[in-house]
């Protein structure tokens, strides 16, 4: 989806900083403002392991409330106790990594710590069976339709503000 000037202003306002490395608006809320953006995983030679950012502040707030209610722990317990859920979660993690890392041109030229950063999963986790940031998982689910953790979050906060 193309990025128009109004989107850039909206994102800047929501993030409270100058957005960097935006590739596209991945999804929009019903009222058409940007909901999820996709950003470059490498910028000024620095690796940013997060590919999809939730930028709708209404949805960000709702997810933050869930996090404050120990919902990360609850979903982690589901992963740890339900093999099918875990398997599907790991597929989402691998999809995310593959998509992100494919955007890196000349990966062989990266230094050791940069290469290490590219092994991380959603939210920058080193262990792929761990949940860290529900905003990141929801953003991935809203964009791709496949992320069991993001899907659980969407069941509560919805898919638009």
- Write down the least CB distance from residue 145 to Zn ion, Å: 18
Q: Which is nearer to Zn ion, 3 or 161 (CB)?
A: 161
Q: Does the footprint of Zn ion cover residue 72 (CB under 5 A)?
A: no
Handedness of CA 42, 43, 45, 47 (dihedral sign): negative
CA-wise closest residue to 65 among 134, 147, 16: 134
| Cβ neighbours of residue 93 closer than 8 Å, sequence gap 6 or more | 121, 122, 128
Q: Which is nearer to Zn ion, 65 or 73 (CB)?
A: 65
Q: Which is nearer to Zn ion, 47 or 55 (CB)?
A: 55
| Cβ neighbours of residue 130 closer than 8 Å, sequence gap 6 or more | 76, 121
User: Which member of 11, 47, 56, 157 binds Zn ion (CB under 5 A)?
Assistant: 56
User: Which member of 25, 29, 79, 142 binds Zn ion (CB under 5 A)?
Assistant: 29
Binding site for Zn ion (CB under 5 A): 29, 56, 58, 161
């Amino acid at each position: 989806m193309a990025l128009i000037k109004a989107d850039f202003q909206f994102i800047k306002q929501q993030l409270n900083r100058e957005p960097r490395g935006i590739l596209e608006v991945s999804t929009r809320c019903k009222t058409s403002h940007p909901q999820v953006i996709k950003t470059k995983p490498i910028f000024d030679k620095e690796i940013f392991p997060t590919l999809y950012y939730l930028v709708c502040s209404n949805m960000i707030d709702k997810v933050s409330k869930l996090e404050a209610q120990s919902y990360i722990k609850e979903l982690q317990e589901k992963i740890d106790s339900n093999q099918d859920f875990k398997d599907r979660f790991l597929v989402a993690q691998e999809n995310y990594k593959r998509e992100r890392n494919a955007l890196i041109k000349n990966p062989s030229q990266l230094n050791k710590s940069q290469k290490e950063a590219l092994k991380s999963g959603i939210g920058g986790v080193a262990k792929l069976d761990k949940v860290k940031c529900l905003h990141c998982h929801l953003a991935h689910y809203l964009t791709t339709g496949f992320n069991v953790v993001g899907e659980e979050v969407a069941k509560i906060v919805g898919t638009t503000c």
